Amino acid sequence: MKSTRVVSIVLSCICLTSAAIAFAADKPPSGRLATVLRDTPVFVEADTGSQRLDTITAGREMVIVEQNGPWLRVFANTDVQQNQAQDAPVFGGEAATPPISGWLQGKGVVSVSTPNADNILYGAATGQESRASDAHGPRGAAQAARLLYARDAQLFPQGPHAGDAAWRAADIRWQLEKQDVYSRPSAHEKEAYLRQQIDDSEMKKVIKRFPGSKFADLAAYDMLDNKVCGDWQGTTKCPEKEAELYQKYADEHPNSPRAPEALFETVYRLAAAGDIYAGDNNDKKANEDRDHAKTVATHLQEKYPGSDYAARAATLIYQMEQSIPIYGAERD
């Protein structure tokens, strides 16, 4: 998924009403919560010949406060307004802008009263996410998917897609910010605390809102990114520490879709640490980590026999038994 940037548009000649100011403080004016499925222009009046104020992008949060035929008067938050300051490195770092107040045509507007709105929003979000994964997909598709998922979870908190939508919105944001964080020189520092941390606020909300669910399990797995090292720099401290993190995750989240992957990551890191110890002629520690790796691999194959990660762990064990380096292959 390509990292996207949200460009804030400076609005002129907009008088903020007390309702608009309240919306900025997360107290929306009275009306129907809604969003749009596509970029939609906002005008000063219910007339395409009037001054255009801005363009509301797909998934932006808004409230419908008045209707005039096919026209709707709305208050709409900008995406920058919704995100915390930690988003700045990913989404542009622009100063927060006030909510938009104006008129737009109702085509493509989905509100809480739209028939089948839950499925419509979820379907639109998955479509944008699919486009974002395409190397030739449109710019901004990932951001649109994130916001549409977020709106689905917000407008229909008890709906069948609520957990999945909330998780996907959080995960897309996480992956975009992770891409930005890992592109920086500090990402190559050995210690995790020496690089910028990925904002985990949305992940924590998913865990709190859907405790014990697979969505909470998935969120907890993503959050391990903030704890792993950058460049191991040829030391055993990092792979051994990370092996503990991944094994603990698998123990605490045995039903997670990511549990087999966590066990595989444990095996890989223990095997890698064994290679590093062997390179330092510390055969005792090398054998200890390799034996531990084999034990975890056996557990993985027994508990999740149909997982690709079980087969991949078997490959790692074969490499160890054949003295094929897993870390530092240049030594072979």
Average pLDDT score, the chain: 86
Residue 279 sits at the vertex; the CA angle it makes with 275 and 285, to the nearest 5 degrees, is 60
Residue 64 has pLDDT above 60, yes or no: yes
Q: Which residues pair with 132 in a beta bridge?
A: none
pLDDT value of position 30: 75
pLDDT band at residue 28 under the 50/70/90 scheme: low
pTM summary value: 0.82
Distance CA 70, CA 104 (A): 9
Residue 306 has pLDDT above 80, yes or no: yes
Q: Which residue has the higher pLDDT, 170 or 90?
A: 170
Residue 77 has pLDDT above 70, yes or no: yes
Q: Indicate the burial class of 305 (C-beta count within 10 angstroms; 0-12, 13-18, 19 or more).
A: exposed
DSSP 193: G
pLDDT band at residue 11 under the 50/70/90 scheme: very low
Question: Where do the DSSP E strands lie in the chain?
Answer: 32-36, 40-43, 52-56, 62-68, 71-76, 100-105, 109-111
Q: Which residue has the higher pLDDT, 98 or 268?
A: 268
Residue 126 has pLDDT above 60, yes or no: yes
pLDDT value of position 136: 84
Distance CA 117, CA 34 (A): 10
Question: Where do the DSSP E strands lie in 163-256?
Answer: none
Residue 7 has pLDDT above 90, yes or no: no
Here the tokens at position 5 are: 């940037």
Distance CA 293, CA 205 (A): 34
- Identify the three-state secondary structure at position 108: coil
Taking residues 319-326, report their average pLDDT: 93
In the block, which residue shows the tokens 């700045």? 88
Residue 65 has pLDDT above 50, yes or no: yes
Distance CA 119, CA 110 (A): 11
Q: Which residue has the higher pLDDT, 6 or 259?
A: 259
Q: Give residue-wise pLDDT tens across range 129-158.
A: 999 988 888 888 999 999 999 999 999 999
pLDDT value of position 278: 94
pLDDT band at residue 16 under the 50/70/90 scheme: very low
Which among 177, 182, 148, 165 has a CA at the least distance from the CA of 79?
A: 148
Distance CA 54, CA 120 (A): 24
Q: How many CB atoms lie within 10 A of CB 152?
A: 30
pLDDT value of position 31: 85
Residue 14 has pLDDT above 80, yes or no: no
pLDDT value of position 78: 55
Taking residues 19-25, report their average pLDDT: 36
pLDDT value of position 137: 82
Q: Which residue has the higher pLDDT, 20 or 171?
A: 171
pLDDT band at residue 332 under the 50/70/90 scheme: very low
pLDDT value of position 19: 34
Q: Give residue-wise pLDDT tens across range 78-107.
A: 554 444 433 333 333 333 456 788 999 999
Report the percent of the chain where pLDDT is more than 90: 76
Residue 188 has pLDDT above 70, yes or no: yes
Residue 241 has pLDDT above 90, yes or no: yes
Per-domain boundaries in the chain? 1-187
Taking residues 51-60, report their average pLDDT: 92
Residue 331 has pLDDT above 60, yes or no: no
Q: How many CB atoms lie within 10 A of CB 183?
A: 10
